[in-house]
Every structure is written in C-alpha cells, then in structure tokens.
C-alpha cells in the first residue's frame, strides 16, 4: 500500500518508514528541509517536499493523491506555542481536509493522551501543547475519514 507519512524525518516517522518499506509497502515521506530528502530515501521511502504551515489544503491534497493511507506524526517539538498551534493543531486540520479531498479515507494520527504527564508541572507551554493535541484529536474524530489515534508512547515499542 502507498502510505503518505507527514513528519517522516522525525523519530516516529523514521521508524515507521523503515517498517513499511521492509513489509513491502511504498511509503512517501513529506519533509520541510531539503537535507531530509536523502534520509527518507535511506529509510526506504520516496521524499516529497511539503510544509503544513505554508501549503494550502489543495497543495497537500495533490501530494496525497493515489495513496491508500495517511499517517500524521508531525510536531512542533518545543519550537513555541505559535508553531505548536500551526503544526500540531491547524496542520492536522489541513491534513485531514486534504486527505478527504484526495479521496484517502484511512488516517492515522500519532497523538498524546490528554492527561499524560499533566501532574509533572511541565509549564504553560506543555499545557498549551496538550490543549492543541486534544483539539486536533476531536477535529479528526469529527471527520468522515476512517481514522485511528495512536498514543506516541505506543510507537516506541
């Protein structure tokens, strides 16, 4: 199956691309930085340049066409609350809308449990991240896509 991986150069994306390629699937890895393209090839995937902030829903949809599933594991990774909102939140919304337009029904979101690490006193930035992730989960759940939400900790096994 052709699988479109958003966040392919990250930790989850790297492991997933390797596993998909080893299983005989055809992973496509979306990346922002040009130097990430060669990494994706090394993982067994086909690189495609893209940006969840800059690309429109139509541009993302065109990149997704012909794939059987989308996996979203992109994240702002501590680059600030504005980027968290744009990538983890609005980026997921764009990706889900683009998948619908492209006719790709299967959508896997790597997310976080809304209450995980909450008692750890990790600060307002973390609390913002958790609010954005929860909103993204709800957005995806309200689409007509065939979706599944996987907690990030489950991907490290």
CATH of the domain at 127: 3.40.50.720
Domains: count for the chain: 1
Residue 135 has pLDDT above 70, yes or no: yes
Question: Annotated active-site positions, please?
Answer: 129
Per-residue three-class SS string for the chain: CEEEEECCCCHHHHHHHHHHHHCCCEEEEEECCCCHHHHHHHCCCEEEECCCCCCCHHHHHHHHCCCCEEEECCCCCCCCHHHHHHHHHHHHHHHHHHHHHHCCCEEEEEECCCCCCHHHCCCHHHHHHHHHHHHHHHHHHCCCCEEEEEEHHHHHC
Task: Give the residue numbers spanning the domain of 117.
Answer: 2-156
Residue 23 has pLDDT above 60, yes or no: yes
User: What is the pLDDT confidence band of residue 6, given thresholds at 50, 70 and 90?
Assistant: very high
Distances (CA, A) of 62 to 8, 55, 58, 77, 153: 18, 11, 6, 26, 31
How many beta carbons lie within 10 A of that of residue 22, not counting itself? 10
User: What is the pLDDT confidence band of residue 117, given thresholds at 50, 70 and 90?
Assistant: low
Say what the pLDDT of residue 28 is.
Answer: 98
pLDDT tens per residue, range 97-114: 999 999 999 999 988 765
User: What is the pLDDT confidence band of residue 84, given thresholds at 50, 70 and 90?
Assistant: confident
Say what the pLDDT of residue 151 is.
Answer: 80
Least confident interval from 1-5, 14-18, 151-155: 151-155
CA contacts within 13 A on the Cβ side of 25: 19
């Amino acid at each position: 199956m052709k699988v479109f991986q958003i966040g392919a150069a990250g930790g989850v994306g790297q492991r997933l691309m390797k596993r998909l390629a080893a299983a005989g699937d055809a992973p496509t890895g979306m990346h922002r930085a040009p130097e990430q393209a060669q990494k994706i090839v090394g993982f067994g995937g086909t690189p495609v340049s893209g940006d969840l902030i800059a690309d429109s829903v139509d541009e993302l949809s065109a990149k997704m066409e012909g794939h059987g599933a989308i996996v979203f594991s992109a994240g702002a990774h501590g680059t600030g609350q504005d980027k968290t909102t744009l990538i983890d939140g609005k980026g997921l919304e764009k990706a889900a809308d683009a998948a619908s337009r492209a006719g790709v029904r299967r959508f896997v979101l790597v997310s976080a449990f809304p209450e995980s690490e909450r008692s750890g006193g990790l600060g307002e930035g973390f609390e913002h991240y958790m609010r954005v992730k929860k909103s993204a989960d709800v957005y995806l759940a309200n689409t007509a896509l065939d979706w599944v939400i996987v907690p990030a900790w489950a991907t490290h096994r």
